[in-house]
Amino acid sequence: MNFSHITWLDDKGHVKPPLMLYLLLVFIARGWCVFVASLTQASDRAALVELFYPQKADFLMALAAGFGALIVYGAVIAERKRSPNWVRPLFPYMKWLLVLLLIIDGGLLLQRVLHSYYMYSWSIGLDALLLFWSSLYLYKSKRLKLYFSDWKENELKAKE
């Protein structure tokens, strides 16, 4: 049988991480993305951060919430290499960690709304829309469910 038309499997038959998972992790860790982008500004590093996060507390909370996304990203990289073995038992629970991170992100969005005194801004509206889409993706994606259940224990025992 020729399985070359199935693009979501790698050459070893494992499910590849969906592109939407990477986009979801970037969305959750957007505070870290802003932080890294601000490091490239030689003249005024704080100006870029203040553009996205006018309140310093909002930025620090976004960094704290985004740290969980960095942990999930590290687990995804570990899964692609199929090592270290201590990540394997945690991997099926990554979907619930993402749900928790989206709930925290929703709380941070609510805090930003309170800090802006309920004034509408495009960044808050876009964040709310992306939060809604991300939640739907976690709830509905069959490929993501297959990906999180792909790292099996018996496969690792056969390897040893």
Cβ-contact 83, 9 below 8 angstroms: no
What pTM, to 2 d.p., does this model score? 0.79
* pLDDT above 70 for 156: no
Residue owning tokens 């199929």: 82
| pLDDT value of residue 151 | 67
Instruction: Report phi then psi at 93, rounded to 5.
Output: -95, 5
| pLDDT value of residue 2 | 59
CA–CA separation, 110 and 74 (whole Å): 28
Residue-wise pLDDT tens digits, 94-119:
888 999 999 999 998 888 888 878 88
| pLDDT value of residue 154 | 44
Residue-wise pLDDT tens digits, 28-38:
999 899 888 88
Residue-wise pLDDT tens digits, 24-69:
999 999 989 988 888 887 777 788 888 877 778 888 888 998 999 9
Cβ-contact 65, 35 below 8 angstroms: no
Is the C-alpha dihedral spanning 94, 66, 64, 105 positive or negative? negative
On average, the pLDDT of the chain sits at 81
